[in-house]
Structure formats: C-alpha cells, structure tokens
Amino acid sequence: MSESETKSGTSPVSGIGRMTGFSDGVFAIVITLLVIELRVPEHRPGELLSALLEQASVYLAFLLSFGYVGVIWLNHHSVLRLIRATTIGLNWINLWLLLGIVIIPFPTMVLADAFAHAGTDGDRRVAVLLYALAAASMSAPWLAFFGYLRRHPSLLAEGVDEDYVSAQRIRPVVGMALYLITGALGWFVSPVLGLLGIGVMIIFHSLTSGGLRFGRWRRRRPA
C-alpha cells in the first residue's frame, strides 16, 4: 500500500492493449444482449404470424439499441486511436464509460415496454425521461476523458494535436445538453416528441462520428 517509489515494479504508464480488449468484450456482449429478449412469442396454433407482428416494438428497441451501441463503439474506436498509452486514471475513466454502455439495454427495454403494451401517457413520459437521462449521463465520462488527455499530453499518439483534443470536449457538452432538452420535451410536452428526439440524436451521433470522417476520407485518399 505504501510501497516506496524505488520498489515500484512497473511504469505507471502501460499500453492500451488490455483496455481495448476488455472494452471490445463489453461492447460485444452488450450489443448481443438484447437479442435474448427476442423470444418466440406465446401464440395459439396457426397464429404465429400475428404473434410475431405484435412484438414489433421489441424489434425496434433491439435495432435502436444495436445502432446506439454500434455508434458508441465507433466513437470509442476513434477516440482510443488518439492515445498511445494509458494510466490507471484513464483506465478508471474508461470503466466509467463502459458503465454507461452496460446500462443501455435497461432504459431501452423500459422504453419498448412503455410504448408497446398498455402503457399510459404518464408511463411513457417516465420511460422517455429515463432514456434521456441515461444518454445524457453517458456524456460525462467522455468529458473527463478529453480533460484527462489535455492534462496528460504525453499519452497522446504521435501526430495528434493537443488543440484538437481540447476542442473535442465540446461534443459531450453539446450531447448532454441536447439529451436533457429531449428528456424535458418528453416529460413536459409529449413523450412521442421525446422519443423522436432520441431517434434524431442517435442518427445525428452516427452521422457526426461516421459520415463526416467518411466524407473526408473520400477527399484525401491515403497511400
């Protein structure tokens, strides 16, 4: 516990191999977890088709969750390419990020349940607010991540600009604000409007993480 500096076994800075492998394992499990909910519906003989169609909201929730986790994986992949090494401090922040990802299936299913079955308008407001709060809280560790990198520029990969990293902090702040607005919309105005807002947010996320870079790549084809 109070080991002196001279007895230290390893450098406090390590490669990102295990951080990456562990994170990919968590992403892989979360993205496949919701398929467990896709079950053969109870049905009377001859009514399989209608029973399958009645589950539509479960399929949508599955697709929404798959797309959302996929987008976050792409972001995580991009961000980890900014660094060449990690510390225990950064590993803690990464664990915080993974906590947000691991939770996703829960608000997704609450949402599916509230909109599918005989959920009242009040229940739907609760479900939309819960989802928006979960999504908003997922932005906090990203802010910590970029802030940590700004304070420890020696962890950055070669050729990565410190200003670029600092500028990235605006993205989680904007995301958090927009999700909170979406949640307020769903709670005070209309749950359906809030649900639409969440869908728009995820599509927007996927476009800014995927689309813009994709466009750039077309213009500047690398060797």
For its own copies, the binding residues in 91-110 under the rule CB under 8 A are 91-92, 95, 98-99, 102-103, 105-106, 109-110
Closer residue to its own copies in complex, CB, 127/176: 127
Bridge-partner residues for 86, per DSSP? 14
Per-position b or e across 49-59, b if 16+ CB within 10 A of its CB: eeeeeebebbe
d(CA 129, CA 186): 6
- CB contact at 8 A, 177 and 114: no
45-64 residues in contact with its own copies (CB under 8 A) are: 45-49, 52
- DSSP codes, 17-35: HHHHHHHHHHHHHHHHHGG
- CB contact at 8 A, 144 and 93: yes
d(CA 186, CA 96): 27
Least distance between its own copies and beta carbon 180 (Å): 18
State which of residues 57, 84, 113, 150 lies at the interface with its own copies (CB under 8 A).
113
Closer residue to its own copies in complex, CB, 77/181: 77
Is 81 one of the binding residues for its own copies (CB under 8 A)? yes
**Structure-block tokens of residue 112:** 């599916």
- CB contact at 8 A, 88 and 172: no
State which of residues 54, 192, 200, 213 lies at the interface with its own copies (CB under 8 A).
213
Least distance between its own copies and beta carbon 113 (Å): 4
d(CA 195, CA 7): 56
Least distance between its own copies and beta carbon 196 (Å): 20
Least distance between its own copies and beta carbon 153 (Å): 10
Segment contacting its own copies (CB under 8 A): 121-129, 136-144, 178-186, 188-196?
Answer: 121-129
Which of 164, 178, 21 minimizes the C-alpha distance to 79?
164
153-212 residues in contact with its own copies (CB under 8 A) are: 154, 157, 159-161, 163-165, 167-168, 171, 174, 208-210, 212
138-157 residues in contact with its own copies (CB under 8 A) are: 152, 154, 157
Closer residue to its own copies in complex, CB, 106/188: 106
